[in-house]
Every structure is written in structure tokens, then in C-alpha cells.
Chains A and B, each alone.
Chain A
Amino acid sequence: MKAEDRVRAAYRALAERAARQADVEAGLRRAMRARRVAPAAAAVAVVVGLIGGAAWLGLFPAAPEPASTPATTPAPQTSSTTSSIPPATNPPPAVPDRYRVATDGLPDGALPLRTAPDPTAPVIAELPPAYAGIRRLGETQTLDDGSVWYRVRLTEPVTVVADGDEPIVGWLDSTYLVPLPEGLAVTNAELEPCEGGTDFEATNPTSVFVSSLRMAAVAEGCTRIVVGFSSGDAPSGWSDIGDGTAPAASPPSWRILQAPWPLIIHFPDLTSAWGDAAGEAGAYLVRQPDRSLALVVTRPADEVWVRTIGGRLVVDLREASRPQPPWGPAAALLRAPFTGPGRVEATGLARPFEANLAVWVESEDGTVQEAVFSGSPTLGTHRTDRYAIPTNDWLEAWAPFAVRVEDLAPGEYRLVFDTGGQEPLSVPFTLQRSGPAPEVPSDEANELARRLVDFATGGTPPPMADEVTLRLADQVSISHPATAMTDPSNWVVDDALFAGRVGPFDLLDGLRRWPNITVSERRTSPRCGGRPADWWPTETLLQLPVVIEPVGVESCLEWYSLSVLVDGNGAVAELVLDLYEP
């Protein structure tokens, strides 16, 4: 059989298999249930794939893991003594009995615990996303719509919304339940809260993957954070608390007086994570600019204990009396906003819905103010009434951001951070004085950008220098004479790999796909989801580059920047494409 026919036959077989196996009706029900939630299903699928091994081309028999079937099963229940906590390598029981609430797909953002296995039965409690205190009691019931309900008992504090008797027992739709992986079976009763720091048996964490983070107030004035690691290999290279540069013993066992703030524990080897941070308590898993992860605790503490216990990282904090920075369920500021003449600045962490954090300023009466916004990760500087900051496409992690709002009149305002999926964080501030007008792109820069977009979509090119250099960031460079640049095909750099993508790379492609742009002039190159790059040879820049970025992208994967340098005559001399690198 010819190769062409074999390929065609393979694809045809794949299509037939998909048509035969795809459960359309079940999927449609899931889509309807996921009406208002972050699109984390793909991320969850990725993690399931990671835990199961990076099997490429599972076009072969492995069936998808249902949400309520564990990739790993939880450790058996333990007694209340710390010495009995099993290491994460203990053989798991055959049937999982501990679950957490999924972080996506929840109707109206919470999972109702009901008095009966019936979606119309009275609600006993609303369980928030990632709530981990669920013990399955064994009874199950399958409804006509195919959903399977578990009878459960709640083991962690929760707000109850209906009359009833304790202990809290009810029914949950297992569609929204995720088995707790091994190593997460820490309950309040298993560890003495905030005591000692050396009393616990410490074993190496056993995976490179942070699987979940949950928090609970375990005593008056004391908060515990537990980071669970799923089965696998140990994180290596624990770094010191503080600036993250000094190496430390592994596993860590620290007792810290006058803890630094914010408290940051780096996981330099970890690149993927899922599960929830306990934003309401001020602790977050954060994606660092270098793509690794860190646990950032913004709750001020006088004393902190950090230990590994049975494959889990346990952080106990005895709270300080210092003022706490503003935080919300999906956005937190690392410090109170800084105000200057006519401007306010804020830095923080966000877990945005679809990777876009919207920021705006409103007056006391709720009127949204028009101002000049800029940010990092940045989309340039522009005047608008609200500003979208792309953070990253990893919806289960938290990402750092910084925003500056300028050109505001004196007055009382609120700075609002809307993550799209949770209650916005609203922070009041006062401006006493107006400030100077901020720098905005020149008319020439805007005109050059407009002409490039026009050319990308079929118009005529802007003036070109005698020789034009095309670059992919600081990696690839080719040159063409000006006459060649009227042909769009010469704007393609035929390089195999760049920024984690596969070439060739068309420098006009972004302008075609995202002609709605913002323009800035600066010496550093912006980066979506990271610090601005400093690879510009600034000593050679006679003029600031005109930097073009898309507006309204939903993910850093769609982001690009096209930096344009012009010669003394205003002709394009160099173009640099940069893409987000996952």
C-alpha cells in the first residue's frame, strides 16, 4: 500500500473510532454544567497524563480516567499521633475514600451537599472548590442521567446552609469529586498544630509534582498549609526561605522566628502543578518567571515551622499582629498599593479566569475612571478605562503581576482586580495630588504600527531601510534588501524551533491574527507571563524600538511582540519577533 494511502487509512480509522467511542450526550451534559467555570479540564487531563507517565500516542487502548477514579489512591486513614503518619510510599487501599471538590465545572461555583442523591434535594452545605474534607461512606447511587452520587461525611469545617444534625452527612454528585492522591491524607487531628518543629518524622517528598495545596485554620491564631506531592520522585534542590538563593538541607525542617514577609518557599525543580491555593487564607502556589513554582504566603506570621511529613510539606504559621495586605480568592496584593502624584501602583498575584486579569479604577460612586495603564507582564502603555494583564495559560497556578495607573485626578478611589471567575478584589486608595502627564507612544510610532498592520492585511509596506534585518528574539537573524520586503513571503524566518514552537515563523502572522494592537516605546522587550527580557543590545539603540503587542488575547500562547527599529529617516531597519515560551 502506498504511504499516502496508509496515512489516509490511519486517519480514517481514527475518525471512525472517535465517532464510535465519543460519548456525545455525557459530554454535552458536562459542558452545560461547566457554564461558568475556568477551563481547567485540559490542565487536569494533562496532570492525569503526567502522573500516569508521559505516554505519547495513547492512540492505543488506554481509556480516559473518569474524574472519580484516582490516578493514585490515598493513604489509609491514620491515627492522631504523628508517629503513625504513613510515608507516601505505603501501599494504598484498593478503594479511595477521601476526595476533594474539583476546581472546575461546579454549578454556581460550589458543590452542593444534598440530603438525597437527587439534584433537586435540599442543600445541606455548599462545598467550595478544592474543599478536601470528604470521606466516602460506601453507598452509591446512579441516576437516570448517568451521574453517580456518593454518600459522604464531611471531615473539615464548612459553612452549612440548611438545618440538620451533625455529623454532616449527605450526598454528592461524584462528577465533581477528585480522589485525594496519596500523601494528602493530613487532617487536623493527625498533627498537633503549631507545636514543636522537630517532633515529626520527616521523609523525603516522593514526587516532582505538587498535587494540591490546602489550608485550614487549625488553632486559634494558627494556620497550617499542606502541600501534597503525588507519587514519583522527590523534589531536589530545596532552596532557603528568603531570597531563594541559598541552598538548604533537604528535606527542610525550619523553625523561623520573625519570619520574612512575604514568606516564599521555592520549588526550583517543579514545573507543573494543579490543585488550589487557599487564597482566603493568603497562601498561593505561584508560577515564577523562570516557570518554576513557589509557595508564597502573604499572611504575616511571627513564627513559622516548615517541615516535610510523610511526603507532605507542612507549614504552620502563628499569626502576627502586623497589618495584612489586601487579598481575595483569586487575587492578592503583596503590599498595600503605592500612591504618588496622580498615580497608583500595585504588585500582587492573580489566578485569572482564562489568564486575563482585568484592572480598573473607580471612584467612590462606582464611576470607572479613564487613565493611563501599564503593567508587567505588560501589554504596553495606553489610555483606557480598564486594563487586561495576561498572566499565563496555566490556570491552576498563580502568577505575579504589577500594574501602574497614571493621570488620575486627586480623589478617593478603588483599585479593582477582576479575575473573571471570582469576586473581584477591591482596594481603596487616596490621591492627594495630580501628577505629570505620563509618556504615551508618539504619533510616529502609532503611524508605523498602523502601516505594518495594513501591510500584513494586504496593504502597502511602510518605508524600508536599504537592508532590513529580521530576528527571532536574540536567537536568529537574517537580512533582506528593501526591495524584497514588499513580498510578504520574505517576512518568514524559516527556522525549525523557537520559543518552544515549530517554524517557519512569519513576522506578519501575529498582526494578521491580532490586528487589534497596542504600541509602546521602550528599551526592554516585553514578555507575556514573565519579566521583560533584557536581551536588547541597548548600547546600539539610537532610538527606542516601537513595540507592538496584541490587545485582548486570551492566553499567552496567542501573545506576540513585534519590535521595530527605524533608522534616522524613519525607515524600518530591524524587526524582532518574540513569542511566549511555555
Chain B
Amino acid sequence: MWKGVESVELVTSPPEYEDFYRREYPAMVALAAAVSGSFAAAEDLAQEALTRAFRRWGRISTYDRPGAWLRRVTINLALSRRRRLASEARLRLRLGGPPLVEPPEGDETHVWIAVRRLPARQRAAIALYYLEDRSVAEIADILGCSEATTRVHLHRGRTKLATMLEHDP
């Protein structure tokens, strides 16, 4: 049955959220790419994290460091994506699926191959350290662990990277 026309509300966002978005989006894309390993998925992950921030903006805008909340969400999303991909990759291998895509050659490629061998938390800590020059205290706050644990992640991650790159110049 045909009925009357409905109006559709236009959605707007507060200016401070727009500033927050413009400031953080590229950084979240980089962070998501570094942790998830996929630049293709990074924009979606960053978008998802910022969309979650938008839905809770009334609360998050009151935080001292909304950026820390955003980074934690981004990292969790990126790690979650990796876990799912890993299980699916196992399934595909078992069923004889298509081969995994090999990265191209290049010096940067060797670095990312080494990074992907790091455990998840180390990868996240390393990304925050190198991408954003975060202090240990800030990284601990974002990752939700102690500073001592963060130091362990950073130390082990950097040591492993150095070892792997020395053997794979």
C-alpha cells in the first residue's frame, strides 16, 4: 500500500568531533596498518574506531585523552582482524585455497616481514613507539597494561626486529 512521504533527518556532527576526526584519522590509518598488516583494511579499521568514537562522543569528549581511547580501540580492532584472518588462512590452507599473496621486493618490505613475526602486543607497542613517538607511560595507558609490561614488549620487540633484520638485510 502506498502511503505518504516521510522526511529524513540530516545528520550532523559537533565541530569538535570533526576537528578530532581530521586530526586523528590519518594517524589511525597508519596505526591500523602497522598492527593489522593491511593498508587496504586500515582505512576501514580507522573509520570503524572513529565511528565508535562518534557514537559515544558525548562521553569520550569529556576524557582527558580521547586519543588514547581511540588508539586502544583501533589496536583492538586491528588485532581482532588479524586473529580472524589467521584462522581463515589456516582453513584455506587446509582446503587448498588460493596461495597467500607475497609482498613485493624492497627494503621496506623486509621490515614489514620482520614486523609480522612479532607477537601482537609487541607489534602494537612498537607501532606506537615508532609511529607516534609515544612515551612508555602513554603506550602503557593505551595498551591497558603496566609500564613494566610495556617496557618488556618494547624491549623484546626491538630486539627481535634488530636480530631479524641483521640476518635478513
A interface list, Cβ under 8 A from B: 3-4, 6-15, 17-19, 21-24, 27-28, 30-36, 39, 41-42, 44-46, 48-50, 53-65, 107-108, 112, 119-120, 122-123, 126, 160-164, 208, 232-233, 236, 269, 271-272, 393, 488-489, 492, 496, 500-504, 506, 509, 512-513, 555, 557-558, 582
Contact = CB atoms under 8 A, between A and B. Distances in A.
A64 B41 contact: yes
B71 to A, nearest CB: 14
A42 B87 contact: no
A513 B144 contact: yes
Contact of A41 (B1, B44, B85, B95): B44
Nearest to A2: B162
Contacts of B130: 7-8, 11-12
B101 A27 contact: no
B7 to A, nearest CB: 8
B165 A208 contact: no
B134 interface: no
B33 A14 contact: yes
B120 A49 contact: no
9 contacts: A3-B165, A11-B30, A30-B47, A41-B48, A45-B48, A59-B103, A502-B122, A503-B119, A557-B80
Given A3-B166, A496-B119, 14 more contacts: A6-B110, A7-B161, A15-B27, A24-B25, A27-B46, A31-B47, A45-B44, A46-B81, A49-B81, A57-B37, A108-B8, A163-B4, A509-B149, A582-B83
B80 A42 contact: yes
Contacts, number: 260
| Interface bracket on B | 35 or more
Contact of B149 (A15, A45, A492): A492
Contacts of B121: 502
A31 B54 contact: yes
Nearest to B9: A108
Contact of A46 (B18, B85, B115): B85
A59 B13 contact: no
B107 to A, nearest CB: 7
B39 A271 contact: no
A55 B101 contact: yes
Contact of B89 (A34, A54, A119, A120): A54
Given A15-B27, A39-B51, A42-B77, A162 B3 contact: yes
Contacts of A34: 51, 54-55
Nearest to B93: A54
B43 A59 contact: no
B88 A54 contact: yes
Contacts of B92: 53-54, 208, 233
B162 to A, nearest CB: 4
Nearest to B114: A7
A58 B37 contact: yes
Contacts of B26: 15, 18-19, 22, 24
Contact of A17 (B8, B39, B84): B39
Interface in B42-100: 42-48, 50-52, 54-55, 76-77, 80-81, 83-89, 91-92, 95-100
Contact of B81 (A11, A18, A45): A45
Given A22-B29, A54-B92, A123-B5, A45 B45 contact: yes
A36 B91 CA distance: 34
A582 B79 CA distance: 11
Contacts of A28: 13, 18, 21-22, 25
Q: Which 10 A-B pairs have the closest CB atoms?
A: A502-B119, A54-B89, A55-B101, A45-B44, A18-B30, A11-B130, A10-B111, A3-B165, A18-B29, A58-B38
